[in-house]
Structure 1
């Protein structure tokens, strides 16, 4: 069993791993003001960015789904790792050596499963790359040369060769300390009659990397006629490889995609290579599966695909029937994007790899630049094959294309394409075509409404409520002030330390806020040593449970209500407002007690209570007159 990573090493990983760099590997971040950054949340679908990163505090928080934490929590959640695996992942990335409580550093025994599988794939990639220079791999080198790729190109993309024997890779990795079970679990080996055998044999190998650059799988191309396997053999589903979420070349393309706001989706590994080498560095491809919902989520985050930031996704498909079918599949998923989507098809049917080899790099760039909107391509694909010279042919084409137009969610865009459809068909009756499209759209909405009503029960409001940790009612100014004071105490402790520790937990009337206040006391208070040695982590560590810890993170990331950086005047005003509310509550309580007392029956108690009331009202007036000086 793996030993526990030492606390001081976990701390060193947190300090070394810059949260903006780590998060930036998965989504595009833009300035959110106040030193914070924002982007589209990787943990839920959203149209506007609500995912905030505070680099100075080492924290992230999504104000949409309420996920939050530090850099380790982010890696743990986004890559579905255990805590130890997330620490190991970051330690490897930032060159932090880890020690374990049981003793020294023994990777084979103590590292998490993901780390072990990634290291096995890294070693396999090195092995395959070395084998590409062998005599047996001549057929692989010839395959690359025939497609216009040099040895330097192969090295740049990490291409290799899997020998034709049964146990070459297995023996190599066993010699590196990897177990048979690890090779089977990682999809590098298959179960044979005498134990694990190589999964990939006699094939050209492309390493498939995740967005962070770790090798997590392979794509293998058949080279010989006597190979009875599929043309392309990919790594099976494993704990680290999910083909529905992986895009080949994304590790190389992500920076250009984020910078240019353009992603080019091609169909194969060689097409990605050709595009990158031709000057289209935003090219990516799926790995043995259709471009689907999970791929779209990945691209949306990199493109900052929101109402405020729109980029381009360009699909390149072969010009044949299969390519048109792929484009129509893309159309079905397309409207998950806010981004504009296009199709680029070479008239003679060549893919980017063939085009580059035949006509050069400029031809590949021109192909991408000649893109047409995906809606237009899908509509025209439905029109093709109909005889538009006859009335019957035009009606048949309308019946084929109108459902495509009716499926466009944007009403203005739907009307625009309905008008265009009329001109493409040659009806010269715009109202007729627009009306037909509108009728189909209306029928579709009615069917969807009826289906939803029949299949779903009334929602449980309690169950449907968001999981968020924000307990305050935004209309309750007392709760708003409590929240603001806690934010100041976490983010700008120097502004409130002179008075904050004197505020009691009972002055925070919202239970979650009182729990955060208690955590601050447990962490030593604003005048304790923790303020100068990692204040927010100390409060998070002192939190009573994960719910309170999540609220601490949220308060530490959320910007103050005023737009400028808080100063002494603003902080003092917040503290005074909180104390005034506390005084009001105590005054109301004392008045209630006073009304219940009989002056004749208990004169001394009545007099003491009356004096208490006078003192409180005097104190309240001083707060209003003198402000922070009265605290």
Structure 2
């Protein structure tokens, strides 16, 4: 039985692993201040980036959903691995040897279930690739050659061949030590009266990879007429393979998607390969399902879809099925902030056919002829009506007006309303009015930007904390000061620390964090303030458990400075500003009390209040002078 990984090894793996590099395997990050990076959160769907990474601390935090943690927590959350499995994966990545207490490291039988499934898929992919090079795969080789793919292309994309027969892969994996329970969980086998048998037989095999490049499933194309199965047969839903969350080619395309801020959505495996080989490296495809909300989440993260640019191009066949797919895509269009387009080859050829018939340049030119998705949706909808009759044109107007109303660019709406009137042969005012009515109608879904604490488990009776309102100017000043003392305490001098210590925060959450900062700083004698991660961890341990997410947020939000000098001035200025605010607030309180005090009846109290006001004013002027 494997023992526990030594704490020193865990700390070493964590410190040696670049969290930014790990996160960028899932999210496109951009600089967000000194030592800070941000991108779209991988844990929830959002339109503007609120997910921050601080490599200096080795932590991440999302200001939208309050998720935070270190690189180990990040992998565990996204990959659904155990703590031990995650540390072992990260250690293997950097070539670090782990040591275990009260036992030895895990052997092959003790590796996590998920890793065993990944290993089985890797072995299967290698088996299929080897089979493609045999004489028995002549039909598969011919199929690839007829579509313009060389053996080198097949090797690059891991294309393979499942030989005819019932148990070739089954025997191979059993010989590698996999038991029947593990094999059944892979989805690569079916069960019959005589036991298990290969799911993929006599088919061309396309390995389907996750974002990180690991094989998680397979797509199998029929090759023989006697095969009574569907044209394409994919891996069923498994622990690894969720078809609504998988995009074929994303492992190769992700960096180019981020670099070019473009994604091209095609319909098949060979279309992705053809696009990439023709010079369009941003192509991906769904795997046996329509392009949906989960796919959009993946694409938006790599596009950095924050409204500052980018484009999504759908390539559909020109037939009725392709038009139907385009209309489904338009239903999801509002979830993108990037511009969405459709590129359809006039003769109905898919990218693979186009490349074979006219070459790589024709594939690239297909994208140059793209049209806005909403225009394509309008024209596709119009085809459902008889435009030769007035009744048909009016019905077409009623069906297409909501499409025009959904155009996000309000300056384009009137232009397309007038264009639609011309296409339908109707009066412009009538069509414009129909669009305006559709635009005023309530939508089923509206985007709401809210900040909510993480949901509590039913049995957790810890009271919810009312978080500070970020729109309140006074509370914003308090939060900014707390961000400074949490992130860069070493930049504060003795005077700044005295002012911060003397401050009384207006919000209970800020008061709790303020008191924790003062207590940890005083207790450590200032020794811990230069140790970024240790300092943040000490503060997190010093606040109530329900505020640890808020402290994580304070440690992650980027400070508005582009160099060390600016950061120094900003830190001092924020503390001074907070102290000045407190002086003003105290002065207002004293003046109100002075108004209620009679100088003749309460002369001593009146004079004491006056002296306090004078002292505060002197402090304020001294602060301003500094």
SS in 2 for 1:489: helix
- The aligned residue for residue 52 of structure 1 is 52
Q: Distance in 1 between matches of 2:421 and 2:191?
A: 60
- The aligned residue for residue 600 of structure 2 is none
Tell me, yes or no, if the aligned pair for 2:253 and 2:283 is still in contact at 8 Å: yes
Structure 1 residue 471 corresponds to structure 2 residue 432? no
- The aligned residue for residue 593 of structure 1 is none
1:377-409 per-residue CA deviation (whole Å, 9 max, x = no partner) reads 111122337565554554454455445334546
- The aligned residue for residue 425 of structure 2 is 426
Tell me, yes or no, if the aligned pair for 1:482 and 1:508 is still in contact at 8 Å: yes
* Number of equivalent positions: 600
Tell me, yes or no, if the aligned pair for 1:89 and 1:115 is still in contact at 8 Å: no
CA shift in 2, pair 1:440/1:100, >3 Å: same
SS in 1 for 2:429: helix
Q: Distance in 1 between matches of 2:317 and 2:365?
A: 16
1:282-319 per-residue CA deviation (whole Å, 9 max, x = no partner) reads 11000010001111111112112222x12111111111
More displaced 10-residue stretch of structure 1: 537-546 or 211-220: 537-546
CA shift in 2, pair 1:549/1:126, >3 Å: farther
- The aligned residue for residue 82 of structure 1 is 82
Deviation, 1:238, is: 1.5
Tell me, yes or no, if the aligned pair for 1:88 and 1:111 is still in contact at 8 Å: no
- The aligned residue for residue 272 of structure 1 is 272
Q: Distance in 2 between matches of 1:92 and 1:289?
A: 35
Tell me, yes or no, if the aligned pair for 1:587 and 1:613 is still in contact at 8 Å: no
Tell me, yes or no, if the aligned pair for 1:520 and 1:542 is still in contact at 8 Å: no
SS in 2 for 1:22: helix
CA shift in 2, pair 1:541/1:95, >3 Å: farther
- The aligned residue for residue 206 of structure 1 is 206
1:565-600 per-residue CA deviation (whole Å, 9 max, x = no partner) reads 56666545656677789999999999xxxxxxxxxx
More displaced 10-residue stretch of structure 1: 372-381 or 164-173: 164-173
- The aligned residue for residue 595 of structure 1 is none
More displaced 10-residue stretch of structure 1: 580-589 or 418-427: 580-589
CA shift in 2, pair 1:580/1:283, >3 Å: closer
Structure 1 residue 435 corresponds to structure 2 residue 421? no
Correspondence list, 1:323-334, <5 A: 323-334=322-333
Q: Distance in 2 between matches of 1:509 and 1:614?
A: 24
Q: Distance in 2 between matches of 1:95 and 1:285?
A: 34
Correspondence list, 1:575-614, <5 A: none
**TM-score, normalised to structure 1's length?**
0.82
- The aligned residue for residue 122 of structure 1 is 122
Tell me, yes or no, if the aligned pair for 1:279 and 1:361 is still in contact at 8 Å: yes
- The aligned residue for residue 215 of structure 1 is 215
CA shift in 2, pair 1:520/1:200, >3 Å: farther
Deviation, 1:247, is: 0.5
- The aligned residue for residue 352 of structure 2 is 353
Deviation, 1:112, is: 2.9
Tell me, yes or no, if the aligned pair for 2:162 and 2:205 is still in contact at 8 Å: yes
CA shift in 2, pair 1:95/1:256, >3 Å: same
Structure 1 residue 182 corresponds to structure 2 residue 168? no
SS in 2 for 1:171: helix
- The aligned residue for residue 291 of structure 2 is 291
SS in 2 for 1:265: strand
Deviation, 1:360, is: 0.9
Tell me, yes or no, if the aligned pair for 2:496 and 2:572 is still in contact at 8 Å: no
User: Which residue, 484, 491, 500 being the options, matches 2:487?
Assistant: 491
- The aligned residue for residue 310 of structure 1 is 309
Tell me, yes or no, if the aligned pair for 1:266 and 1:316 is still in contact at 8 Å: yes
CA shift in 2, pair 1:120/1:18, >3 Å: same
Tell me, yes or no, if the aligned pair for 1:382 and 1:397 is still in contact at 8 Å: yes
Q: Distance in 1 between matches of 2:472 and 2:375?
A: 51
Tell me, yes or no, if the aligned pair for 1:573 and 1:627 is still in contact at 8 Å: no
- The aligned residue for residue 173 of structure 1 is 173
Deviation, 1:187, is: 1.7
Tell me, yes or no, if the aligned pair for 1:489 and 1:500 is still in contact at 8 Å: no
Q: Distance in 2 between matches of 1:46 and 1:216?
A: 27
Tell me, yes or no, if the aligned pair for 2:580 and 2:623 is still in contact at 8 Å: no
Deviation, 1:90, is: 3.2
CA shift in 2, pair 1:38/1:533, >3 Å: closer
Deviation, 1:182, is: 2.2
Q: Distance in 2 between matches of 1:405 and 1:159?
A: 43
Deviation, 1:240, is: 1.9
Tell me, yes or no, if the aligned pair for 2:540 and 2:551 is still in contact at 8 Å: no
SS in 2 for 1:122: helix
SS in 2 for 1:263: strand
- The aligned residue for residue 22 of structure 2 is 22
SS in 1 for 2:101: coil
Q: Distance in 2 between matches of 1:164 and 1:536?
A: 62
Correspondence list, 1:35-46, <5 A: 35-46=35-46
CA shift in 2, pair 1:537/1:439, >3 Å: closer
Structure 1 residue 158 corresponds to structure 2 residue 196? no
- The aligned residue for residue 372 of structure 2 is 373
SS in 1 for 2:137: helix
SS in 2 for 1:264: strand
CA shift in 2, pair 1:470/1:300, >3 Å: farther
- CA-atom RMSD in angstroms: 4.1
Q: Distance in 2 between matches of 1:294 and 1:99?
A: 39
Tell me, yes or no, if the aligned pair for 2:496 and 2:576 is still in contact at 8 Å: no
CA shift in 2, pair 1:571/1:378, >3 Å: closer
More displaced 10-residue stretch of structure 1: 468-477 or 73-82: 468-477
**TM-score, normalised to structure 2's length?**
0.83
Deviation, 1:467, is: 1.2
- The aligned residue for residue 6 of structure 2 is 6
CA shift in 2, pair 1:387/1:515, >3 Å: closer
Deviation, 1:420, is: 0.8
CA shift in 2, pair 1:563/1:148, >3 Å: closer
Q: Distance in 2 between matches of 1:165 and 1:153?
A: 26
Deviation, 1:538, is: 3.9
More displaced 10-residue stretch of structure 1: 262-271 or 570-579: 570-579
SS in 2 for 1:106: coil
Tell me, yes or no, if the aligned pair for 2:559 and 2:567 is still in contact at 8 Å: no
- The aligned residue for residue 603 of structure 1 is none
- The aligned residue for residue 113 of structure 1 is 113
Tell me, yes or no, if the aligned pair for 2:65 and 2:451 is still in contact at 8 Å: no
More displaced 10-residue stretch of structure 1: 579-588 or 102-111: 579-588
More displaced 10-residue stretch of structure 1: 327-336 or 384-393: 384-393
